[in-house]
Structure 1
Amino acid sequence: MRLTVKQWIQVVISLVVAIWIFWFLYKDVKMESLLEALQQASLFWICMSIGISILGFGVRAWRWKLLIDADLEERLPTSRAFWGLMIGYLVNMLIPRAGEVARCGVLKKTEKLPVSKLLGTVILERSVDLLFMLGVIFLAFILEREVFVGLANDLVSLEAIKTGLQEYMPLLISGVVLLGIVFYWVSHRYRDHGLVKKFHHFMRELIGGLKSVQRMKNRLGFWLSSVGIWIIYFLMMYFIAIGMPSTANLSPSAVLMVMVMGSIGMVAPVQGGIGTFHALVAFILMTYGLTEEEGKIFAIIVHSSQVLIVLVAGVISLLVVAKISVIAKPQAEHLRNN
């Protein structure tokens, strides 16, 4: 995947911002404190967290495979989806959000599948994840209502949001309608142009990917795996929490609240949620009585375990895909010659 100069500038800026946030957060945390926390932590529970995280990536790959299989005569091996998924996560560590395109590119290279249709399945995946994330936030609100309301009052002025919506909503609606009219006029005025035809073809493939959930043979497996992914995410964080003395007394609902804040931090457009994840997790832990240093140490242990998995599995996936490509190339040349 080639990047333009503008895209490289955006990548560098986001990386600089992430590093600066991380440095600002941890400049006062002593290495001795981190090492002491690691020594006191339960190796068993940290290994359990890493193990169930790996299982979570496998479940994600299987769920993606179910969507892709909806349009295939022969089923895609889950391992191929896993290699692509992990390469995507690895790319996200360098270029935020580029991993979604990268994993589609992997399957295009190894399975000769159209990127546009694969992107449709990825968008559907992310849309489902967003819905579940909103559901988890609502659950956290029910279980930790007092903490949630206190944070909302401290961070957001509900009255200001209401006033802003009332003031700018007509302008926003007018802008959306105007863009729709312009898009409709351009697409019909230049419908015979090559670029417009390519765009229409891309959109048809994309919509086809989005509709793949309707053609799935294993819809139950798709929805159960979607639930399982969030349960696994919770357990990954909960296992580390009960394995560390500073967080061992946190209730499951408190850990759920920490998971919610961490999820919001991971959504930020920086590499791998670096800085934003740590800041939000440390912030919410302070509301549960932990010191600032304890919150930051917990955040870095959780995040580092995930980064370690992505780096190891991502590099292995790159090697496997490279080997598959080397094997597939002579076969393709043989078919062309015959």
Structure 2
Amino acid sequence: MGLTYFKQFIQVVVSLGIAIWIFWFLYRDIEFEALITQTKASNWSWIMGSLIISMVGFWIRSWRWTLLISSDEGKQVTSARAYHAVMVGYLVNMLVPRAGEVARCGVLKRTNGISIGHLLGTVIVERSIDLLFLIGVILLAFIVEHELFITLANQLVDFSSLGRNLLSKLPYLIAFFAILIVGISMIFRRFRDHGLVNKLQHFFREILSGLRRLGQLNNQLGFWVSSAMLWVIYFLTMYTVSLGIPSTANLSSGQVLLVMVMGSIGMIAPVQGGIGTFHALVAFILIQLGISEIDGKIFAAIIHATQVVLVVVAGLISWIIVLKLPSWTKPTTH
């Protein structure tokens, strides 16, 4: 157990170190006075509006989660209870990347008596749907700003060279994945009674159960509309901040969409709160859109910092509320 905690500690320290290094490298030439000047020149009515929009997004995500959670076990989860669990999860993610997903499941297990396996299955389904919508948003950005999108993509990746390399190595890739699939199947059959294999099989069964549940939801329309609304919320959050900062106030909605896509990709990185990666990608896209390097980096710093403050404050409030809630106990039968 001690070795496990030590490994987790090392992983947290390494990811935090990488995040801090990226942040330092990005902002090492930015004078603090420039940040203060830009902050004072910003219209904070727009920025505060973006925080209100974000709070609406947190509630929508929480309500959507309740649609996936089965009421067959434990106590039915209310939107308020799901909201507090989600915010605790966001708070934990600020410290340990990806641990927030387990933390929010742990909250509902304690307060509502729902199994961790079932809850993790719903979270995985959530993330899978979010990934599908992210791909859809990337396609939308391509349609809206296709010329700029292609120019930026070519700067990041040499697609012609990549395509040639993939074609030349395609037989090896097919053979590798075939061997991998056969090998995993043999391991599962050979060690099917092993505890770890049983846990993995149970884990995958929970995922499949969650995916099947999508077709059995009582509120299919609500789930898919709320999933789409979350991305509308992300866009409006980014757009209102851009209106509040003089250097980005004239960006078109299509350009802001590109900034949002890059920011979303930066938040996927396994570092605490997207620190560094979010700033680097958002600043990169803004520079390509004609915003000065300093203004692009300051924009990324302002939007990220305000969101972090919001998550920390709301997360701490939810954490305090959760601590005061009684633990769920299974009703006794007579």
Q: Which amino acid aligns with 1:246?
A: S
Report which stretch shifted further, 230-239 or 147-156.
Answer: 147-156
In the other structure, the counterpart of 2:295 is 294
SS of the residue 2:204 aligns to: helix
Aligned partner of 2:149 in structure 1 is: 148
Paired with 1:78 and 1:111, the residues of 2 have a C-alpha distance of 13
Task: Note the C-alpha offset of 1:195.
Answer: 4.1
Distance 1:169 1:100 in 2: 36
* Counterpart for residue 12 of structure 1: 13
Over 3 Å counting, the alpha-carbon distance change for 1:199 and 1:255 in structure 2 is closer
Distance of 1:205 and 1:162 partners within structure 2: 37
1:269 aligns with 270
Q: Which residue identity does 1:95 align to in structure 2? A: V
Which has the larger displacement, 241-250 or 181-190?
Answer: 181-190
Greater CA drift, 13-22 or 170-179: 170-179
Alignment of 1:97-108 (within 5 A): 97-108=98-109
Write out aligned runs for 1:60-139 (5 A): 60-69=61-70, 71=72, 75-139=76-140
Which range moves more in the overlay, 170-179 or 105-114?
A: 170-179
Shift in alpha-carbon separation, 1:198–1:237, aligned structure 2, 3 A: closer
Are the structure 2 counterparts of residues 295 and 165 from structure 1 closer, same or farther at C-alpha, using a change threshold of 3 Å?
Answer: same
Secondary structure, in 3 states, of the residue corresponding to 1:277?
A: helix
Task: Supply the distance in 2 between the matched residues of 1:170 and 1:304 (Cα, whole angstroms).
Answer: 47
CA distance in 2, matches of 1:137, 1:278: 19
Cα distance between partner residues in 1 of 2:128 and 2:187: 28
d(CA) in 2 for partners of 1:169 and 1:57? Answer: 43
Deviation at 1:210?
2.5
Partner deviation per Cα, 1:179-200 (whole Å, 9 max, x = no partner): 3323333333343444444443
Matches within 5 A, 1:1-338: 4-69=5-70, 71=72, 75-324=76-325, 327-328=326-327
Residue pair 1:34, 1:297 contacting (<8 A) in 2 also: yes
2:304 alignment partner AA: H
Give distance in 2, aligned partners of 1:297 and 1:104.
Answer: 35
What is the CA–CA distance in structure 2 between the aligned matches of 1:140 and 1:36, rounded to whole Å? 32
Contact 2:278 2:300 in 1 (8 A): yes
3-state SS of 2:23 partner: helix
Stretches of structure 2 that go unaligned for 5 or more consecutive residues are none
In structure 2, relative to structure 1, the CA distance for the partners of 1:23 and 1:223 (3 Å cut) is same
TM-score normalised to structure 2 length: 0.93
Moved more, 158-167 or 172-181: 172-181
- Residue 321 of structure 1: how far off its partner (Å): 1.5
**Quick one: distance in 1 between partners of 2:116 and 2:77?**
15
Q: C-alpha separation between the residues in 1 aligned to 2:115 and 2:177? A: 30
Shifted more, 172-181 versus 124-133: the winner is 172-181
Shift, 1:69, TM fit? 3.8
Structure 2 Cα separation of the partners of residues 283 and 306 of structure 1: 20
8 A Cα contact 1:70 1:215, kept in partner: no
Q: CA RMSD in A?
A: 2.2
Kept in 1, the 8 Å contact 2:42–2:244? The answer is yes
Structure 1 stretch displaced more, 198-207 or 152-161: 198-207
CA deviations 1:144-188 (Å, max 9, x no partner) are: 112111111212111221122223333333233223323333333
Structure 1: segments with no counterpart, 5+ residues: none
The answer as to whether partners of 1:71 and 1:212 remain within 8 angstroms in 2 is: no
TM (norm. structure 1) is 0.92
> Per-residue CA shift, 1:217-245, capped at 9, x if unaligned?
00100000011000010000101111111
Q: Per-residue deviation at 1:257?
A: 0.8
